[in-house]
Amino acid sequence: MNPLKLLHVAHAGMLASFLLSLGALSLAYVFSHSLGLATQVASHIALIVFPAFFKLGYVLRLTALKQLGRAVD
């Protein structure tokens, strides 16, 4: 895959997983009193899954930066 395209995909994936994590966090702790048990369980599971996707996006970002010859910081 083109490294520049990979970098854009990585940034978009990191942004999406960050926003989904914030949504799951608000469902799990802020609005938990008005949600059913299944939704609460799903939101707590999402708090494990979405940050894992963020980490995957970060690894893709590092790979793209290395392929482009840019500083990896």
Q: Which two tokens stand for residue 9?
A: 């995909």
pLDDT in tens, 17-47: 999 999 999 999 999 999 999 999 999 999 9
d(CA 71, CA 44) in angstroms, rounded, equals 36
- Of 53, 4, 44, 52, the closest CA to residue 23 belongs to 44
- Of 11, 55, 59, the closest CA to residue 67 belongs to 59
So what's the pLDDT on residue 6? 97
So what's the pLDDT on residue 19? 98
So what's the pLDDT on residue 72? 83
pLDDT in tens, 50-70: 999 999 999 999 999 999 999
So what's the pLDDT on residue 73? 74
